[in-house]
Copies of this chain bind each other. A is one copy, B any other.
Amino acid sequence: MADVAAVAGVSHQTVSRVLNNHPNVRSGTRDQVMEAIRKLGYRRNRAARALATSHSSTIGILTIGSEFFGPQSTVLAIEAAARAQGYFVSVTALDRYDAHSATEALNHLVDQGVDGVVMVAPFEKVIDALDDAALKIPVVVVAARTSVPASDPARYVYVDQREGARLATGHLLALGHRKIAHVSGPTGWFDATERQIGWQEKMLEAKAPIIEVPAESWLAPSGYEAGKRLVDSVRVGEVTAVFAANDYLATGILRAFWEVGLDVPTDVSVIGFDDLQISNFLIPSLTTVRQPFRDVGHAALTELLEGDTADKSPKVIAPTLVMRASTAPPKSQ
């Protein structure tokens, strides 16, 4: 910076002022400084800036592993939005889904001196980690946590999972189904709980039976297992439709039904959640609930950087139903 100042014939402070868009700089001076910067290919040292201003222009993202489509998309949206605002993004992925792991990851980000953290890890244990950490920086959590204690300093941004489940269940009910099984997501995940509640609410409203098959994980093998377990019920007509907690599970379910010769949607309807890249190309193409992950990412960053301190109510984003070929009226209607 001293070099630039020398070339431009001003003091280093004037250079700093130009770089920080200070108002009180004559435009001629500004031009000279800019020219000197260009000529020297000068770049500000970020460490020195961070030291002097005591903020790092970096936000931390804590996320979960690669197997999850939603978090991944959200993270990328946050990154894009952050970069557009001149922020840097430091990402840390969780290898295990427990509080200890989350605490460690959080500390890692705090050690780095991030100005804020977005947590894209919608399982319940992260909340414990958050409570333990007692951070002094703003935190946004992307998770459908519907009952947040007033003492919780974090802000929440999420897609209305319960509403999505209602949309899915409502779609099946409207088609004439009543025996709608729910292959629910693993315990300990906000999304799993919320989707289960939305489905159950809708079923109780319709006075329809509650048939739940819990899945071990969010992934296709668990869906396949659940599908296997459902085959008999489908054959005897005890289940005419399945609401899978996500599209991976739905893919496994489709596969399990296919293996035993059950036709979807003739014999049984299947609906998923998420709308993956390939959901439209499955056999049959999968009816599902789409989540606007980009919007979530954007909203999360906005909330982090510009969040109104007074308004700590969660930002809730609406999902949409995507109708395709895996749902149809039940056979023996």
User: Contact residues of A with B, CB < 8 Å?
Assistant: 43-48, 50-51, 54, 56, 58, 65-67, 69, 72-73, 76, 79-80, 83, 88-93, 95, 108, 110-113, 219-221, 223-224, 248, 251-252, 254-255, 258, 277-278, 280-283, 285
Shortest CB distance A121–B (Å): 13
Q: List 27 A-B contacts (CB under 8 A).
A: A43-B111, A44-B111, A45-B113, A46-B111, A46-B113, A47-B51, A47-B56, A48-B51, A58-B112, A65-B76, A67-B277, A72-B72, A76-B93, A79-B91, A80-B93, A83-B92, A83-B108, A88-B108, A88-B112, A89-B92, A90-B90, A219-B277, A220-B277, A220-B280, A248-B277, A282-B282, A282-B283
Tell me if B220 and A43 are in contact (CB < 8 A): no
Shortest beta-carbon distance from A287 to chain B in Å: 15
- Which listed residue, B76, B223, B252, touches A66 by the CB 8 Å rule? B76
Among residues of B, the one whose C-beta sits closest to the C-beta of A65 is B76
- Besides A47-B48, A50-B50, A220-B281, 4 more A-B contacts (Cβ < 8 Å) are A47-B56, A89-B91, A90-B91, A255-B281
Query: With A112-B88, A220-B278 given, is the CB distance from A66 to B56 under 8 Å?
Result: no
Task: Give, as a whole number of angstroms, the nearest-CB distance from A220 to chain B.
Answer: 4
* Chain B residues within 8 Å of A91, by CB: 79, 89-91
Residues of B within 8 A of A285 (CB): 255
Distance A91 CA – B254 CA, assembled complex (angstroms) = 36
Output the least CB separation between A218 and chain B (Å): 10
Closest 10 CB pairs of A and B: A47-B50, A47-B51, A255-B281, A220-B281, A91-B91, A66-B73, A66-B76, A283-B283, A46-B113, A88-B112
Taking a contact as CB atoms under 8 Å apart, the answer to whether A281 and B224 are in contact is: yes
Q: Which residues of B contact A281 (CB under 8 A)?
A: 220-221, 223-224, 251-252, 254-255
For A82, the closest partner residue in chain B by CB is B92
- Smallest beta-carbon distance A303→chain B, Å: 20
User: B residues within 8 A CB of A73?
Assistant: 66
Query: How far apart sit A223 and B88, CA to CA, in the bound complex (Å)?
Result: 36
Task: Chain B residues near A89: list those with CB within 8 A.
Answer: 90-92
